[in-house]
Structure 1
Amino acid sequence: TQGLGAIGKHPVLCLREASVGPVFGIKGGAAGGGYAQVVPMEDLNLHFTGDLHAIGAANNLLAALLESHLLHGNALGIDPLSISWRRCVDMNDRALRQIVVGLGGRANGYVRETGFDITAASEVMAIVAVARDLFDLRRRLGAITVGHSFAGDPITAEALNAAGAMTVLLKDALKPNLVQTLEGQPALVHCGPFANIAHGNNSLVADLVALKLGDYVVTESGFGSDMGMEKFLNIVCRAGGLSPSAVVLVATVRALEHHGDEPDGGLAAIERGAANLRRHLEIVHGFGLKAVVAVNRFPGDTDEEVELVRRLALDDGAHAAELNEGFERGGQGAAALAEAVVDATRDAPSFDHTYPIDAPIEEKIRAIATRVYGADDIFLLKTAREKIDTFAAAGLDRLPICMAKTHLSLSHDAALTNAPEGFTVTVRDIRAYTGAGWLVALCGDMQTMPGLAERPAAFTVDIDEDGRTVGLF
């Protein structure tokens, strides 16, 4: 974005909001770094305008109203064993993945097993991210399915009289937040679904507003082309009628050395790890789009290393590959990259989706696994297969698919680095996000509530002697 500004363009940046969980976990914040930042960094990474808290409150209001309905007569005949709605909190806390509620006697409700998701994985987050206006927001909230009756009928938030109050809690959270880069380009920061356990993109409203305000919109998708990008192209673009002009794929020396199984391994490790970059380029091309590779330069990278990454990207079919030195030089350090992006957008692409929307649920999952991840096939566990039959019978088979899988591999197995082959993607469960408008396929052992590492980033965050926050990154 700052690079586009440096060459005289008028870009608008669209980013996701930071979740407090990763800020105090491993990943850190979401405001950039060095001379390539969105400001104010501290506010962005800590609470910001309170959108995520509002989303959590709306999510948990629905949970509270559901429990209250069960206690006060259960007029809708809800089967407690069918309830799929979970509470959420914006924190990494593995102890909340599976809990028991209603302990302590009849006055506290019925005892049943449930759990927490992190707020970024809540369906309410997904709904805010794709709702077009306040009335669309209310309609989608009302369409949330929380469980089923003893007769097998879906129970919605509308049936629980929850949608109106939830909408009121979210009426301000629906509005994108306007901040700026260090060099003054506007940035709309809104919503924060993770790309591994959710759909991984900022709000549709932010993208649509940005398209009216700037001549170039830079919209961020989480993790790799197999994660946030795939979901942007197959879910968000369908929901918003969007057609991207080009894709910027970020590569680093450090990442390719990692995929070459030798951190700090130099040129030989980069050569081995380049298979991962090649696969990502193939994924982009599979959508009919041009890819510009941004080689993000770190202070310790040598000229030979970054030039090798650039050459490998071009050899593997990138439209262009340029260094991004924005961290050290700001917009001028990304000017050549910006010129390459402008060139890539001159001709209209032949954009296409991974699967037709009317394909059967299983075939849509298989298409993503084979065409995007490079898998041989998929394997549906009993629960997932039963859910597919149930959702198809309920008319939900025309919804797109949101895959929940590890971001550490192109497969569902975090141990399979680089460009794995000969693997089968295991799908253990499927959730219906009837308000957001897609089905979530849970792959492998992916959890919708992260946990903290042995030494989380929270250990380094503090207040200094002048009362200023230190340790955020």
Structure 2
Amino acid sequence: MSMPSDLDISRSTTLKPLEEIAGQLGIGPHLLEPYGRNVAKISLSALDEHADAAPARYVVVSAITPTPLGEGKTTTTVGLGQALRHLGKRSVVAIRQPSMGPTFGIKGGAAGGGYSQVVPMEALNLHLTGDMHAVTAAHNLLAAMVDNHLHKGNTLGLDPHRITWRRVLDVNDRELRNIVSGLGAKADGSPRQAGFDITAASEVMAVLALSTSLHDMRARLGRIVVGYTKSGTPVTAEELHAAGAMTVILREAIKPNLMQTAENTPVLVHAGPFGNIAHGNSSIVADQIGSKCADYLVTEAGFGADMGAERFFNIKCRNSGMAPDAAVLVGTVRALKAHSGRYRVVAGKPLPPELLEENPDDVLAGAPNLRKQIENIKVHGVTPVVAINAFPTDYPSEHAAIRQVAEEAGARVAVSNHFTEGGKGALDLAEAVVAAAEETNQFHYLYPDTADLRSKIETIATKVYGADGVSFQPAAAKAIADYEANGFGRLPVCIAKTHLSLSSDPALTGAPTGWTLPVREVRASVGAGFVYPICGDMRTMPGLGSAPAAERIDIDEHGQVVGLS
């Protein structure tokens, strides 16, 4: 019998009152700000009320290098959170808020799936409490003040050709990637080349995710660099007198959102930074609250362990001061077969029929990627647990092949059926995570703050990606020199590259060797607090496909949403 759709499962869930969900965390009704019946914001005062509580075990969920379809990190995160409750642990899940760009594009929503999802999924995937729109408004207010400053005399001496602050929109729209703004009469502005990014790629979003308090967010917004003078001096949002108003727009958005899973496990949904240009993790304040209100806090890091988990360790944990107790590495049979190099998986298209045939040899051929990603967890001193996210098309022999590889690499392993069975299907995974989290680990950052930017980039490239070295194009080398001269050298680095390969080339599967990481450009997100080298062609404004999900989404005769996945 086929499973109901994710939307049908969401609607069949018996939701508990949010006061009861919050009560599981010891959070009283006075700390909740309801947004409708099924979502509430949590006041940051919860941090003060629980300041003396012992911290939860902190578990990050990452993955092997995914196919374009994704390998089920959110579903695994939710399933694990549910399973821990079956073991008698007070657990809470912390995830990012989905962008509506991918929701209406190819990927669809990001609420998890099956019987391990956040509900109601319509609320999560569509607007939620308006945090995305607040980020959009704050970002675009700063953009408007940049252009107004140019129009009103430019007393700060901003070079129009060195303005780095674009506009944002939470929609996939390739037509807006590169535009000319300010056309028309003189009163209509100063013409210049500009463009739009998707809201998830906004530095304001990264600031929201990495702030530790309202006042910390205010200070970070002030440090945002919008461009440079002709002499190379950075111009900030503070100098434009924009940071205060931006903070006011975001003063509600900094409060985490409370929801629940299909099994009524508490979920904190907050922030949604891009996984390529930014660090791809949910907010620090959500983790701070969750850590003080549960036995286990399970959070998710975007893309593979070479990206989201590396940034979780070296950027998010560096900012929060929190240390992980264990890391889950999600792997699938289909992804490892794809890493054999024998199959091509394309988003929006059916899997190749031959990939679904029993073939443990193909799994073993793709195993170098799993081995490297286990190594990428261990190099940070964290205990890894491999979660085999089971699909109905898998075979026991293929799961056995993954188990063999993972155990030989020094990781615990568990097959998880959380998609079809909910928390009960992830009990083995939960037991493995509890055992891993109880071990004493040696968590450490990959590089010190004091290392220069080149060394930080080279360390990640060689130790995490497996590159032989790094080549810096002249523009990148000059930018690094300028950033260090401006005092940005102590910032961590967030390397922007493809998520479809350990390398910078999405066509290279497995664990490529004998290659050099090409850094063509380096930019600074000074407010967020990192420098990001760009390796390859990074799209910060996605486009829609030939058959976007938006074509299938509608309302029925009862006013209910249909077609959302």
Q: Which residue of 318, 321, 330 corresponds with 1:241?
A: 321
**Comparing 167-176 and 127-136, the one that deviates more:** 127-136
Q: Could you list the runs of 5+ residues in structure 2 that have no partner in the other structure? A: 1-80, 344-354
3-state SS in 1 of match to 2:220: helix
Q: Which residue does 2:165 correspond to in 1?
A: 85
3-state SS in 2 of match to 1:140: helix
The reply on whether 1:272 has 2:365 as its aligned counterpart is yes
Q: Which residue does 1:148 correspond to in 2?
A: 228
The reply on whether 1:464 has 2:464 as its aligned counterpart is no
Q: Which residue does 2:387 correspond to in 1?
A: 294
Distance in 1 separating the partners of 2:282 and 2:409: 30
The reply on whether 1:350 has 2:442 as its aligned counterpart is yes
Does the aligned pair in 1 maintain the 2:462–2:468 contact within 8 Å? yes
The CA deviation at 1:92 is 1.6
3-state SS in 2 of match to 1:410: coil
* Equivalent AA in structure 1 for residue 362 of structure 2: A
Task: Provide the alpha-carbon RMSD of the alignment.
Answer: 1.2
Q: Which residue does 2:148 correspond to in 1?
A: 68
The reply on whether 1:428 has 2:508 as its aligned counterpart is no
Q: Which residue does 2:196 correspond to in 1?
A: 116
The CA deviation at 1:430 is 1.2
3-state SS in 2 of match to 1:167: helix
Does the aligned pair in 2 maintain the 1:294–1:322 contact within 8 Å? yes
Distance in 2 separating the partners of 1:110 and 1:195: 33
Q: Which residue does 2:115 correspond to in 1?
A: 35
Does the aligned pair in 2 maintain the 1:127–1:137 contact within 8 Å? yes
* Equivalent AA in structure 2 for residue 287 of structure 1: H
The CA deviation at 1:32 is 0.7
The CA deviation at 1:307 is 2.7
The reply on whether 1:9 has 2:89 as its aligned counterpart is yes
3-state SS in 2 of match to 1:402: coil
Please list the CA deviations of residues 252-286 of structure 1 after superposition, one character each: whole Å capped at 9, or x if unmatched. 11111111123335212111011111110111111
The reply on whether 1:446 has 2:538 as its aligned counterpart is yes
Q: Which residue of 368, 378, 382 corresponds with 1:285?
A: 378
Distance in 1 separating the partners of 2:173 and 2:102: 11
The CA deviation at 1:151 is 4.0
**Comparing 350-359 and 306-315, the one that deviates more:** 306-315
Q: Which residue does 1:364 correspond to in 2?
A: 456
Distance in 2 separating the partners of 1:411 and 1:26: 24
Give the TM-score normalised by structure 1.
0.98
* Equivalent AA in structure 2 for residue 298 of structure 1: F
Distance in 2 separating the partners of 1:295 and 1:350: 25
3-state SS in 2 of match to 1:174: coil
* Percent identity for Structure 1 against Structure 2: 54
Please list the CA deviations of residues 210-242 of structure 1 after superposition, one character each: whole Å capped at 9, or x if unmatched. 110001110110111001100010001110111
* Equivalent AA in structure 2 for residue 418 of structure 1: G
Does the aligned pair in 1 maintain the 2:356–2:394 contact within 8 Å? no
* Equivalent AA in structure 2 for residue 113 of structure 1: Q
The CA deviation at 1:14 is 0.5
Q: Could you list the runs of 5+ residues in structure 1 that have no partner in the other structure? A: none
Please list the CA deviations of residues 103-153 of structure 1 after superposition, one character each: whole Å capped at 9, or x if unmatched. 112111111112111111110000000111111111111111111223432
**Comparing 308-317 and 337-346, the one that deviates more:** 308-317
Q: Which residue does 1:311 correspond to in 2?
A: 404
Alignment length (residue pairs): 472
Q: Which residue of 477, 489, 493 corresponds with 1:401?
A: 493
3-state SS in 2 of match to 1:187: strand
* Equivalent AA in structure 1 for residue 394 of structure 2: D
Does the aligned pair in 2 maintain the 1:257–1:264 contact within 8 Å? no
Please list the CA deviations of residues 163-218 of structure 1 after superposition, one character each: whole Å capped at 9, or x if unmatched. 11101100000000000111111110000012222100000000111110001110
Q: Which residue does 1:187 correspond to in 2?
A: 267
Does the aligned pair in 2 maintain the 1:198–1:402 contact within 8 Å? yes
Does the aligned pair in 2 maintain the 1:425–1:444 contact within 8 Å? no
Please list the CA deviations of residues 70-115 of structure 1 after superposition, one character each: whole Å capped at 9, or x if unmatched. 1111122211111111111111222222111111121111111121
Please list the CA deviations of residues 427-455 of structure 1 after superposition, one character each: whole Å capped at 9, or x if unmatched. 11111111111101111111222222222
Distance in 2 separating the partners of 1:231 and 1:136: 20
Distance in 1 separating the partners of 2:213 and 2:151: 34
* Equivalent AA in structure 2 for residue 96 of structure 1: L
Does the aligned pair in 1 maintain the 2:356–2:393 contact within 8 Å? no
The reply on whether 1:24 has 2:116 as its aligned counterpart is no
3-state SS in 2 of match to 1:439: strand
The reply on whether 1:95 has 2:175 as its aligned counterpart is yes
Q: Which residue does 1:418 correspond to in 2?
A: 510
Distance in 2 separating the partners of 1:63 and 1:131: 21
**Comparing 151-160 and 429-438, the one that deviates more:** 151-160
Distance in 1 separating the partners of 2:482 and 2:153: 27
* Equivalent AA in structure 2 for residue 270 of structure 1: V
Distance in 2 separating the partners of 1:203 and 1:271: 36
**Comparing 456-465 and 43-52, the one that deviates more:** 456-465
* Equivalent AA in structure 2 for residue 41 of structure 1: M
3-state SS in 2 of match to 1:80: strand
